[in-house]
Amino acid sequence: MKTVLRAPIGAAVPRDRAKRLLAGRGRFVDDIHLPRMVHMAFVRSPHAHARIAGIDTSAAATMPGVIRIVTAADLAAVVSPWRPTHNRFPTMAAPEQSALATDTARFQGEAVAAVVASTRAQAEDACEAIIVDWEPLEQVGDLASALAVDAPRIHKEMASNLAFESEVATGDAEVALARADVVIERTFRFHRHTGVSLETRGILADYDPSEQRLTVHQSHQTPHQQQDLYARLLGLPEHKVRVVCPDVGGAFGLKHHLYPDELAACAAAVLLGRPVKFIADRLESFLSDIHCRDHEVHARMGFANDGTIVGLAIEDRFNAGAYGQYPRSSIAEGNQITRLTGAPYRMAHYNAKLKMAFLNRGVLGHIRAVGHPIAAAVAEALIDLGARKLNCDALALRRQNYLADADFPLTSAGGVAFEKLSFMQCLDKALSLVDVDQVRREQADLRAKGIHRGIGFNTFVELTAIGPEYYGEGGQHISAQETCLLRMEASGQVRIHIGTTDQGQGIDTGIQQVVAGVLGIPLDDIEVISGDSALSPMGGGSWGSRGAALGGEVAMQAARTLRTNLLSMAGFLLQKSANDLDVIDGVVVDTVRGSRHMTVAELAKIGHFRPYTLPPDLPSDLTVTARYGSRDRMFLAGNGIQVAIVDVDIRTGFVQPVRHLVVHDCGRVLNPLLVREQIRGGVVQGIGTALYEEFRYADNGALLNASFADYLVPMAGEMPDIEVAHIETPTETSELGAKGAGEAGLAGAVGAILNAVNDALAPIGVFMTEVPLTPPRILAAIDRAQMDASKV
């Protein structure tokens, strides 16, 4: 069925076929057909590192349905390259990247050419016919190889593959460790994986050349950021670019960056003047989505004989990808690890060194709980080992060294400002819900039956709702504030226009609740409009657990202004003091006498249709805006503790989670159900990180497990009962008092499971430090422990 445009003569018809309009007055024509949507597929490098000696597209160009084939040269005049700089890290290398690779492919899956065709199948078939003359180059797959003196340089303009190095220091950790009575030293390895959203990345870009207007529908977290990037990189007026991000089927940080293939789709739309669609398949997702967690951390923690932590030193070797992610750069994960390791504990001497190197791997960037799981797992494992060495209770050792209420506010040894955290309260709550003595009795009974049960604790700090200074000073065009527009219709119903986006976390519902509670009207009378850069006021989208803390706060402020205006109008009309009035269930109520008066709908009709009956200086606007962006903090820090109970089968190496508890402090909880499910989802991702998820590569850098047949994620059978409890310590930086909650589940689950497995294997003499804790690794560790024991 053809799509037909009906347009009167003289109306703007944004297509080349507009010239086919008949010269008449006011007549309609039915033969102007909008260009059909076309599909895009990519030719991707099969090599981790290879020079592109040539690309032959001649055979592919003649295949059925093929409309256009583009290479980097074709896109050069349409789209600019970029560099992921960050002014807060001025020495960080930021090599240039393009929508399609130019002369060299630097990771397997990097796109080098694209086919636009009538169908996706036709585009894929044509991709198979494109011949690329590859000249394979030596690939670099780990930091040690990357920084070797004779290492092949991934970017020829750089003197080496070192992307960034830094040091965070408080006191003198080396002196403190030299004087410590006990020093625990281990090296931890956390392997690369990704976020695995249920809905893969997707984009539909439509360009209208007559108006220079680009409209993009995209599975993404940050519509205003993408609007800015597409406008700048494609050279378009920003007010002619619109990005629409509807409800997104999972994101987890995967979808708040610029991806070259998605930008190429936009460039193709500009070239062709017609809608271009690209949906990543699962293989493309594994190869080209943002990756995370590829770190090796060497850590030393020193104790006095009385259990006091006297110092901590870590060295994080950060295996980054071939480029930095754009526009935020890839530094955050390493930066968080060096800032947050040991953060729950009082210590005067701390040192954290970071080395980040470019490798021939996919780009590594920000996935949910950026750096948090590693920082917490490393410190908490050292605490458990310290307790064994000191022959004391690990929970007592934690309690002895926790930052206490009297310590706040403070700047941590890692340089992070903490307003007020609740480590003691969270531990007390956890112990009220888990009978540790009973678990130990069960543990002894089960071991007699050959079942090795373990219990693990993990205290964590969660950084949420990043302040505007981080990216503002960094030079990125990323909004870390929020704006909300409330519009009351004549019916008394309300539309909320806001810059946050909903990707399954339920933030739209939370904002509805806030506004309904302030205005006193039913939840069903409120609609949230978000995820549209043209309809929503400027905002940052949803990432870094900012939705409730920023979106909820600004919605509350706007609702308070609208409520004040409504009650001012009602006070004048009823000849009562506005201070004596309230709105309950959509009706104005006299709180002194208890009498019910006019409805909100009646007030709205007066405000819209009879404003002349109100004094001109009376606050009576029914469309109000508010803006919020805290300027006196870099992050809102939350905290919590997780408890994992697992069974380890020492014959097979399999780990079965049995029970999992999260006690979490995210400030004021707006919707307990939504927060609980957010945390449970994060815990499940943490189970995946701890036990299953890992990219495995061949010696030539080829990804070996790019399907769900080989890349394992937790399913229902691997999920234990996940209990969630709350401590509420509202932040004083906002009226609402909410902090973020989205990182907590993943932040603490990895370390809790690691410690539980190590507790289960302690009688055998095994201590695991490599994540994920796969059966082969566990069995190999048991074999080594048994061999060592046989030598004694």
What CATH number does the domain containing 121 carry? 3.90.1170.50
| CA–CA dist 69, 61 (Å, integer) | 7
Looking at the fold, whether 367 and 237 belong to one and the same domain comes out as no
764 in a structural domain: yes
- For the residues of 662-675, what is the DSSP string, one character each? EEEE-BS-S-HHHH
Q: Which two tokens stand for residue 219?
A: 């599975």
Looking at the fold, whether 535 and 607 belong to one and the same domain comes out as yes
The answer, yes or no, to whether residue 67 has pLDDT greater than 70, is yes
7 in a structural domain: no
Q: Band of the pLDDT at 557, cuts 50, 70, 90?
A: very high
| pLDDT score, position 634 | 85
Count of C-beta atoms within a 10 Å radius of residue 141 = 18
Pairing outcome for strands 38-44 and 276-279: parallel
Closest among 62, 303, 263, 299 to 183, alpha carbons compared: 303
What confidence tens digit (pLDDT) does each residue in 642-696 have?
A: 999 999 999 999 999 999 999 999 999 999 999 999 999 999 999 999 999 999 9
The answer, yes or no, to whether residue 299 has pLDDT greater than 70, is yes
* Count: domains in the chain: 3
- What range does the domain containing 703 cover? 291-467+632-791
Q: Which residues contact 365 (CB under 8 A, 6 or more apart)?
A: 253, 257, 290, 291, 292, 321, 324, 325, 328, 330, 332, 333
| pLDDT score, position 498 | 96
719 in a structural domain: yes
| CA–CA dist 319, 365 (Å, integer) | 11
Looking at the fold, whether 410 and 310 belong to one and the same domain comes out as yes
Closest among 710, 675, 712, 709 to 690, alpha carbons compared: 712
Find the CATH number of the domain harbouring 516.
3.30.365.10
Looking at the fold, whether 487 and 415 belong to one and the same domain comes out as no
Looking at the fold, whether 274 and 415 belong to one and the same domain comes out as no
- Average pLDDT of the segment spanning 613-630: 93
| pLDDT score, position 731 | 94
Looking at the fold, whether 485 and 455 belong to one and the same domain comes out as no
What confidence tens digit (pLDDT) does each residue in 442-477 have?
A: 999 999 888 999 999 999 999 999 887 788 888 989
As a whole-number percent, the residues of the chain with pLDDT over 70 amount to 95
Residue that the structure tokens 């020495």 belong to: 91
Q: Which residue, of 288, 308, 339, is where some domain finishes?
A: 288
| CA–CA dist 108, 58 (Å, integer) | 24
149 in a structural domain: no
Q: Which residue, of 582, 606, 628, is where some domain finishes?
A: 628
Residue that the structure tokens 């949420």 belong to: 464
| pLDDT score, position 265 | 98
CA distances for 148 relative to 161, 256, 749, angstroms? 9, 33, 35
687 in a structural domain: yes
Using N-to-C axis directions, what is the helix angle for 372-390 and 394-401, rounded to 10°?
120
| pLDDT score, position 591 | 94
Contact call for residues 313 and 174 (beta carbons, < 8 A) = yes
Count of C-beta atoms within a 10 Å radius of residue 473 = 12
Burial of 667 (0-12, 13-18, 19+ CB in 10 A): buried
Looking at the fold, whether 436 and 504 belong to one and the same domain comes out as no
What confidence tens digit (pLDDT) does each residue in 378-412 have?
A: 999 999 999 999 999 999 999 999 999 999 999 99
Looking at the fold, whether 446 and 565 belong to one and the same domain comes out as no
Looking at the fold, whether 332 and 234 belong to one and the same domain comes out as no
- Average pLDDT of the segment spanning 719-744: 95
Measure CA of the first residue to CA of the last residue in the chain; give whole Å: 81
Q: Which residue, of 628, 651, 671, is where some domain finishes?
A: 628
| CA–CA dist 767, 755 (Å, integer) | 9
| CA–CA dist 112, 131 (Å, integer) | 11
188 in a structural domain: no
Strand, helix or coil at 578?
helix
| pLDDT score, position 441 | 96
| CA–CA dist 140, 400 (Å, integer) | 45
| pLDDT score, position 115 | 98
| pLDDT score, position 102 | 97
Q: Band of the pLDDT at 34, cuts 50, 70, 90?
A: low
Residue type, 432: S
Pairing outcome for strands 213-218 and 202-208: antiparallel
Looking at the fold, whether 699 and 741 belong to one and the same domain comes out as yes
Q: Band of the pLDDT at 247, cuts 50, 70, 90?
A: confident
| pLDDT score, position 480 | 80
| pLDDT score, position 8 | 33
Looking at the fold, whether 638 and 699 belong to one and the same domain comes out as yes
pTM: 0.93
191 in a structural domain: no
| CA–CA dist 736, 514 (Å, integer) | 9
Pairing outcome for strands 162-170 and 350-357: antiparallel
